A and B are shown apart, each in its own frame.
Chain A
Amino acid sequence: MEVVETCGPFGCNQTTSVNQEQTLVLREAEPLGRFVGFENYTNRGHLAFSEMGEAWRTSTGWGDWWSKVMNLPFYSAIVFTLTFTFIVTPLTIVLGFSIAIAVNSASRVLRGPLIFVSLLPFIITPLVGSLVLFWMVDARGVLGHAIQAIAGNPDLSVKASTPMMWIMLMVYGIWHAAPFAFVVFYAGLQSVSQDADEAAMIDGANRWQRVRYVTIPHIMPLVTFVALIQLMDNFRVFEPLISFSAEAHAQSLSTYIFSDLGGETRLLNSAATTSLLTVLCVGILLSPVLVRTWRDFKRA
């Protein structure tokens, strides 16, 4: 900045203006788009080493330390994403398996329509499906009214409470993914060997034992398959957080990148950093599978 005096026919006045040449010199000494090494990774928005160290040193207890960690955007995003993944995946498998057993025991005429209805939550656009659910659990929607009546609290609102929001997001996750697990398990149930089932029956196995020792071992490879696909899909949970407008309560890695990319400032570097860290997480998550595939490949 410099002060310039401009004199005209009506006297002189002083104006402050930006000295272009000086700025150019400054820019060259310290350019805006410069290589910063790993600073993007260690800053507050991502791995936040100094903040983590600070939190570790100054915390009075685990609770205090935890709340400090959850204030760091990257860590809170990863905590939500992992919680979501590891709660939704097993529950999806359990629900999908139950539906498959139930549909399998329904009469043949009903099965077609049952499969049609069951496919709906999975095929419908995730953003639309979660919106539909969100409108219903809205404080003014039908499920919202029901929840208020059950809790006996007319002011209860999913939008206002973090635990409720997390639960709803997971309920949506299960609702959305259960049909996929169902269809895979249902297909598997069609090929359960009738002979083995009959042999078990002759040996005196009751109904539950037959499910436990004949059906479930037959289904087991499918469980691995569904778990793998679900881990991948749940890890990138994105749309429900957008349509639940949950950013105040929950942030996943995907929405964190999305909010960096959108908005006025477009923090491309921050988004890129989070992206790479996310890809790293996916790699760690999938590494058991990759190792196994590699072993199979070596053996073959």
Chain B
Amino acid sequence: MSTANPRKQPTSLRIILTGFLVLWVIMAAFPFLWTLWGSFKVEGDFFSKANWIYALTGESTRIETGSSFTGDGYYGAWVTEEFGRAVMNTSIVCFCVVTISLTLSTLAGYALSRSTYNYAFWILIAALMFRAMPQITLVSGYLLPFYEWNLWGRLGTTIVVLVAINQPFSLWMMTSFFRNIPKDLDESAMVDGCNRFQAFRHVILPVMWPGVITTGLFSFLLAYNDFPVAAMLLDQENQTMIPKIASFLGTTQTKGNAMFAVAAVVSATAPLFVLILFFQRQIVSGLTAGAVKG
């Protein structure tokens, strides 16, 4: 009789799984490492006609600048093209979107989760429908009134639109989060003489932070990653990071400009790396929040 532990995997399976994992890790991480490394080269190396190995060794970079690494791309993007202003605009947009949509969705989510009326269900279904619509279809409706009321091109307008687009999703998240907080908690507070608002303030508020942080993270990601809304609604002055990168692409014909885009891409990716590093647990729990329920 075999004494092998059936839970232990046979070697062949082990090798296949490990090989697959290694392949996936390379697929997931290699493009970013490659771009990070390449952003310190000149265009002739990053897009090398002659030999792809130049992108690693930096042959042309050495010839053109005298060293294997160059910060020209970053200089061009941040100083010449004023990428910093775009970063500033993105920060303003992200901060406002996260604050406003968290305030709204916390209150609305609490109300919906405690509501016993039918319309609560329909509001959530309507939110699901809006979640499914491509963002650009909503923007096309907003555009004409914004021209006519002279609101086009301002950061405030974009923030309002992004909050509106983000709201269905954060409403769903907050509602399902509040449903997981037992009703007994606020009901017992109300038995003790709190009114609805005091129950929320003293009982629910202290325990809701994990849900708020998760929802906030996803609101931030939406505002940070948005391209269609910002590209359509903002003028040159107020551009955020992502449309700015896209606008570098239009001018790639000029030599060197492609490297501005590469440097800008690396700069825009760095904050997200840090975000995943610190909030990995919350991101994972947020992604699975909808799934676990239904």
Contact = CB atoms under 8 A, between A and B. Distances in A.
Interface in B77-117: none
Interface of A: 98-99, 101-103, 105-106, 112, 114-121, 123-129, 131-133, 135-136, 138, 140-142, 145-146, 175, 179-180, 183-184, 187-188, 201, 207, 221-222, 225-226, 229, 232, 235-236, 238-239, 242-243, 245, 253-254, 257-258, 260-262, 266, 268, 271-272, 274-276, 278-279, 282-283, 285-286, 290, 293, 297
A285 B128 CA distance: 13
B34 interface: yes
B284 A126 contact: no
Given A125-B242, A125-B268, A141-B52, A132 B32 contact: yes
Nearest to A119: B276
B141 A141 contact: no
B46 A135 contact: yes
A132 B284 contact: no
Contact of A124 (B34, B121, B269): B269
Given A132-B35, A222-B291, A286-B132, 12 more contacts: A99-B24, A120-B276, A123-B283, A135-B38, A138-B47, A140-B49, A180-B287, A187-B292, A254-B134, A258-B136, A290-B125, A297-B121
Contacts of B14: 105
Contacts of B261: 131
Contact of B140 (A232, A243, A261, A286): A261
A119 B216 CA distance: 18
Nearest to B268: A128
Q: What DSSP secondary structure best describes chain B's contact surface? A: helix
Contacts of A235: 132, 134
A142 B283 contact: no
Contacts, number: 195
7 contacts: A101-B17, A119-B280, A136-B31, A142-B55, A175-B27, A254-B137, A271-B140
B144 to A, nearest CB: 6
B179 to A, nearest CB: 14
Interface of B: 6, 9, 13-14, 17-18, 20-21, 24-25, 27-29, 31-32, 34-35, 38, 46-49, 52, 55, 121, 125, 129, 131-137, 139-141, 143-144, 221, 224-225, 227-228, 231-232, 242, 245-246, 249, 261-262, 265, 268-269, 272-273, 275-277, 280, 283-284, 287-288, 290-292, 294
What 9 pairs between A and B have smallest CB-CB spacing? A236-B134, A275-B137, A140-B47, A187-B288, A271-B140, A125-B225, A232-B132, A145-B52, A225-B291
B215 to A, nearest CB: 16
Contacts of B231: 258, 262
Given A135-B35, A268-B140, A239 B134 contact: no
B127 to A, nearest CB: 12
Contacts of A124: 32, 269, 272
A117 B29 contact: yes
B291 A117 contact: no
B227 A242 contact: yes
A124 B270 CA distance: 10
A93 to B, nearest CB: 13
Contacts of B272: 123-125
A226 B227 CA distance: 24
A118 B291 contact: no
A103 B21 contact: yes
Given A116-B277, A125-B242, A257-B140, A179 B28 contact: yes
Contacts of A129: 31
A133 B30 CA distance: 10
A262 B144 CA distance: 13
Nearest to A275: B137
Contacts of B121: 297
A106 B14 CA distance: 9
Contacts of A179: 28
A117 B28 contact: yes
Contact of B25 (A117, A274, A285): A117
A131 B17 contact: no
B120 to A, nearest CB: 11
Nearest to B286: A183
Contacts of B125: 290, 293
A209 to B, nearest CB: 12
A275 B17 CA distance: 44
Residue of A99, A121, A140, A290 contacting most chain B CB atoms (<10 Å):
A140
A124 B139 CA distance: 23
A114 B21 contact: yes
Nearest to B43: A140
B27 to A, nearest CB: 7
Nearest to A106: B21
B245 A184 contact: no
Contacts of B20: 98-99, 102
